[in-house]
Homo-oligomer: A and B are copies of this chain.
Amino acid sequence: MFKVTVGKKILIANEEYAAQNQRFIAEHKKVCLNMISSPGSGKTTILARTITEMRGKIRIGVIEGDIATEIDAERIRAAGAPAIQINTEGACHLSAAQISEALKKLAIDNLDLIFIENVGNLVCPSAFELGETAKVAVLSVAEGDDKAVKYPAIFAKAKALLINKIDLLSAVGQVDFDIEKVKGDVHKMNHDIKIFAVSAKTGEGMAGWYEWLTLTMKVTTPGRTTP
């Protein structure tokens, strides 16, 4: 009981910061997407390709969350977008207070879309609101097609799901993963989620994701003029 009560207090403190962030993002007419997945599902590769292929259409900035290292922020900068690296020093998720600080450091006036790449963890980040416009889940086919039912929280909350690394399914058939089963499992918990089967490595299937991003930008910030 002790743990549950305390957990609630931490969540309430976090939600106050999250509400502030949400107001800040809305007032500045920006869109902010919180990407959540296991470690190694390919979040950074998806972001790097999206930054490259959306150049001239959507101005993207990234807040990177990791336990340690600046590896991901460096990959994002190499792809041509500004990135702020947060090191949680052991914590298993980003907090809204950390995002509040990072948003101040990112020159958001020059951006349309801010991605938050959360700490690689399919569990904890889904419980902590950051003030984002929407959550986006990523699942690699190498992780197995039972993950949506085993770790339901993020799949129930996300507005979009990228099933990544479909290049591993192809001709060789090395990975057993039933995309239709996962789509069915996820739609049972979440009617409105959009699901894209992609390979961020080869680019296959990414066009649908870019269309969704473009539509989400239009719907969320109707007054915005593209660069």
Q: When chains A and B are docked, how far (Å) is the Cα of A146 from the Cα of B45?
A: 13
Give the residues in chain B near A16, CB-CB below 8 Å. none
Closest chain-B Cβ to A30's Cβ sits at a distance in Å of 27
Copies of the chain in the assembly: 2
Asked if A223 is at the interface (CB within 8 A of a chain B CB), the reply is no
Q: Chain B contacts of A13 at CB under 8 A?
A: 2
Question: Known interface pairs A92-B121, A174-B167. Does A142 touch B67 (Cβ–Cβ under 8 Å)?
Answer: no
Contacts of A168 in B (CB 8 A): 142, 168, 174-175
Tally A residues with Cβ within 8 Å of B. Answer: 42
Chain B positions within 8 Å of A146 at CB level: 69, 71
User: Which of A53-61, A107-115, A149-157, A204-212 lies on the face that meets chain B?
Assistant: A149-157
Q: Given that A39-B38, A172-B174, A175-B168 are contacting pairs, would A150 and B69 also be in contact in the complex, using a CB cutoff of 8 Å?
A: yes
Q: Which residues of B contact A15 (CB under 8 A)?
A: none
Answer yes or no: A119 CB below 8 A from chain B CBs.
yes
In whole Å, how far is A120's beta carbon from the nearest beta carbon of chain B?
A: 7
Determine whether A78 belongs to the interface, using a CB cutoff of 8 Å to chain B.
no
Known: A67-B152, A146-B71, A153-B67. A38 touches B120 (CB 8 A): yes
Q: Which residues of B contact A167 (CB under 8 A)?
A: 174
A128 to chain B, nearest CB (A): 12
Residues of A within 8 A of B (CB): 2-3, 6, 9-10, 13, 38-41, 66-69, 71-72, 90, 92, 119-124, 127, 140, 142-144, 146-147, 149-153, 165, 167-168, 172, 174-175
Q: Give 8 nearest A-B pairs by CB, closest first.
A: A40-B143, A142-B142, A92-B123, A40-B144, A38-B38, A6-B6, A38-B39, A92-B124
Report 7 cross-chain contacts, Cβ distance below 8 Å, ordered by A residue: A38-B120, A40-B147, A68-B150, A68-B152, A72-B150, A120-B123, A123-B124
